[in-house]
Structure 1
Amino acid sequence: MIKVTDRERLGSPDSSQEDVSGLRASFSSLLRMKKMPIDRSEWESYFDESGHILKSQEFVSSQILERGLDPSVRSEAWKFLTGYYSWQTSCDERLTVESMRRKSYESLCNMYDKIQPLLETEHRDFMEVRNFIKSDVQRLYIKDAQGNTIVDKGQLEKILLLNYVCNVEAEYQQGFHEMLLLFRLLVEKEHEIYWLFQFFLQKTENSCILNIGVEKNLTMLKCLIGFMDPIFAKHLEGKGQVIQSLFPWFCLFFQRVFKSFDDVWRLWEVFLTGMPCRNFQVIVAYTMLRMVRDQILQEDISGDDIVMLCNNLIDLEANELISKACTTYELVMKYPEKVPQELQEFFGQPQ
């Protein structure tokens, strides 16, 4: 796995019950205990000779939350986390699924080739989106430290266009090109890139999609601030549309707040586990706001300057942010009877 920084870019069923019992300890306490990520040897120990998983999905997810994944297993593990593979499949069954995914992608490509002339002549939006995609992708920096090109931009353009044509809900929004790059660096086969991106959006309930998940996240964030910190909430209300201006955090799923892609993958795989709660991205955003809370209150800075201050939260460390966010979540859970209706989803199960 090539590591690219943003600066370069611009057990048995019975034993599993015992494993899960260890989850009674708080998430934040577990995260404060420095542990090595799940490596290839440990990952393989989770499966029997036929490829069936020996551990429970809850156990594996909790280990990913606490420790993360080594780059050597991330691409395979993400196929389970996104739903590309079912957790209940064997090796042979996964080979069949792999073939099915490839053939389905090829069918989509053939369909697109047939309707492309009609899209070009009858749908002005298609031409505009195609130009947007081309412009966005061309701005990506896709070379390693030695100056070697590591990604085919034409491939990224093709996948993004296909996503736009086939995914009515997601369509295309600026920032998708940056997200897709991370999937291309995670896996190489074109059908894998496409499907992992599709399943990622579905698994995270389109949380990074404008007018769907992003709007919902911002509403929940505003409500969470009011519930956890009324003084801070009242102060922000007097500064204009500050919370609404934080939409880039959600649109790129915090991609720009980290120095390396490894940190981005680390946070995203936590989102995919559904732990410690549904809509954990809102807890993460609130945790980041807490980092600048005192400065905002003490200096009484303007709304635009608050947004700029938030946008300057960069080079964060994923493990530290996840740990702090888990602590925030535990604080919310201390008062379940007082949590407003708008935040009840924190108690629900992820889809």
Structure 2
Amino acid sequence: GIAADLRREVWPFLLGYYSFSSTYKEREAHRKKLKDYYYRMKLQWKSISEDQESRFADFRERKNLVEKDVSRTDRTHTFYQGENNAKIEMLNDILMTYCMYNFDLGYVQGMSDLLSPILMVMDNEEDSFWCFVGFIKRVMSNFDLDQSGMKKQLAQLYDILAVAVSKLAVYLEEHESGNLYFCFRWLLVLFKREFKCEEIMRLWEVLWTDLPCKNFHLLLCVAILDHEKDLLIENNYGLNEILKHVNDMCYRIDLERMLSTAEAIFEQLRGSAKLPESVQEALGIYVANTSSP
């Protein structure tokens, strides 16, 4: 992970706000240009009158959804605590401005979870906004209206689990849990609700590097499920018990241990003589002697 006091400098590079090859002078010019762009977009929605809003259903709907989500995002964290906290307004304004930046996507539930740690680190609106834009680009398919992106990830996760922890994959299939919907929240907001704030910052930094492979978060899911495998099977858990157990694991997962396990699973898969094409594609691991899924 990155030292806490360096995050504000490093995250813009990891999230594509700054180019790794840019000079300081180029970054300052780029930042000024995008700062102006941000405030122009913010002004667009801020200047919508109540009269206009009364005939703008899409805008009202998004505004209400943002306000509702922001009001309950990380309110126990000192950064967002208290009534009339200016940081809450910043969170709201960044998300509303994102609706103007990407009106096709707009605001989807869960986005406030992804923005919150970024605002804690960057601590200003415009830099947080552009880092958030970079983050959403990485996870855009999570917010498909038809959930096709999430369904694809869950299918990829099952294929990896079937190779790495086949006993559990078979068990889940036999207990009406092969769709892995109990992992949905993990994937949607990249474990944001499973780990404490400092841990989630550490985890996201790992994921943003795309090392040791792309979609490393899928291997983290497999590592966690592998760790819980014996408990699930020995207790003969069905769908409802599995879902409850997974939800109860919130804030109780050992992140460092799971990251090490996930890396070991990666090495195991990379060393395989045969690997289903779906797994190779999901992780960007390509072995010479392949078998079809």
Q: Does 1:262 align with 2:202?
A: no
Seen in structure 2, the aligned counterparts of structure 1 residues 168 and 277 have a Cα distance that, compared at 3 Å, is farther
Q: Is the 8 A contact 1:136 1:177 kept in 2?
A: yes
Q: Secondary structure at the match of 1:291?
A: helix
* Matching residue within 239, 243, 246 for 1:303: 239
**Alignment partner, residue 128 of structure 1:** 61
Q: Is the 8 A contact 1:151 1:184 kept in 2?
A: no
Q: Does 1:139 align with 2:76?
A: no
CA distance in 2, matches of 1:128, 1:323: 43
**Alignment partner, residue 323 of structure 1:** 260
Seen in structure 2, the aligned counterparts of structure 1 residues 123 and 236 have a Cα distance that, compared at 3 Å, is farther
Seen in structure 2, the aligned counterparts of structure 1 residues 232 and 111 have a Cα distance that, compared at 3 Å, is same
Q: Is the 8 A contact 1:159 1:194 kept in 2?
A: yes
The offset of 1:248, in angstroms, is 0.6
| Greater RCO (CA < 8 Å, at least 6 residues apart) | 1
CA distance in 1, matches of 2:254, 2:193: 12
**Alignment partner, residue 161 of structure 1:** 96
Q: Secondary structure at the match of 1:269?
A: helix
CA distance in 1, matches of 2:218, 2:268: 14
* Matching residue within 160, 163, 172 for 1:236: 172
The offset of 1:334, in angstroms, is 1.5
The offset of 1:238, in angstroms, is 2.3
The letter of the residue matching 1:233 is A
Q: Does 1:340 align with 2:277?
A: yes
Seen in structure 2, the aligned counterparts of structure 1 residues 336 and 300 have a Cα distance that, compared at 3 Å, is same
CA distance in 2, matches of 1:238, 1:119: 55
Q: Secondary structure at the match of 1:255?
A: coil
The offset of 1:271, in angstroms, is 1.0
The offset of 1:309, in angstroms, is 1.2
The letter of the residue matching 1:226 is A
**Alignment partner, residue 283 of structure 1:** 219
CA distance in 1, matches of 2:281, 2:94: 36
**Alignment partner, residue 143 of structure 2:** 209
Q: Is the 8 A contact 1:183 1:193 kept in 2?
A: yes
In structure 2, runs of 5+ residues without a counterpart are 287-293
Deviations 1:154-195 (A, max 9, x none): 221121122233225643222222222211101122111111
Which has the larger displacement, 131-140 or 98-107?
A: 131-140
Q: Does 1:106 align with 2:39?
A: yes
Q: Does 1:80 align with 2:13?
A: yes
Q: Secondary structure at the match of 1:250?
A: helix
CA distance in 2, matches of 1:215, 1:168: 24
Q: Secondary structure at the match of 1:100?
A: helix
Seen in structure 2, the aligned counterparts of structure 1 residues 245 and 319 have a Cα distance that, compared at 3 Å, is closer
The offset of 1:207, in angstroms, is 5.6
The offset of 1:342, in angstroms, is 4.9
**Alignment partner, residue 18 of structure 1:** none
CA distance in 2, matches of 1:169, 1:215: 21
How many pairs align?
A: 280
* Matching residue within 182, 187, 197 for 1:245: 182
The letter of the residue matching 1:295 is L
Normalised by the length of structure 2, the TM-score is: 0.85
Q: Is the 8 A contact 2:156 2:279 kept in 1?
A: yes
CA distance in 1, matches of 2:123, 2:63: 23
Deviations 1:209-258 (A, max 9, x none): 35254232211111112222333212111222450232111112101221
CA distance in 2, matches of 1:293, 1:117: 55
The letter of the residue matching 2:162 is G
In structure 1, runs of 5+ residues without a counterpart are 1-67
Q: Is the 8 A contact 1:205 1:213 kept in 2?
A: no
CA distance in 2, matches of 1:191, 1:175: 20
**Alignment partner, residue 97 of structure 1:** 30
Q: Does 1:182 align with 2:117?
A: yes
Normalised by the length of structure 1, the TM-score is: 0.72
Q: Is the 8 A contact 1:218 1:244 kept in 2?
A: yes
The offset of 1:297, in angstroms, is 1.2
CA distance in 1, matches of 2:170, 2:18: 46
Seen in structure 2, the aligned counterparts of structure 1 residues 96 and 317 have a Cα distance that, compared at 3 Å, is farther
CA distance in 1, matches of 2:259, 2:282: 19
The offset of 1:151, in angstroms, is 4.8
CA distance in 1, matches of 2:175, 2:48: 49
Which has the larger displacement, 95-104 or 160-169?
A: 160-169
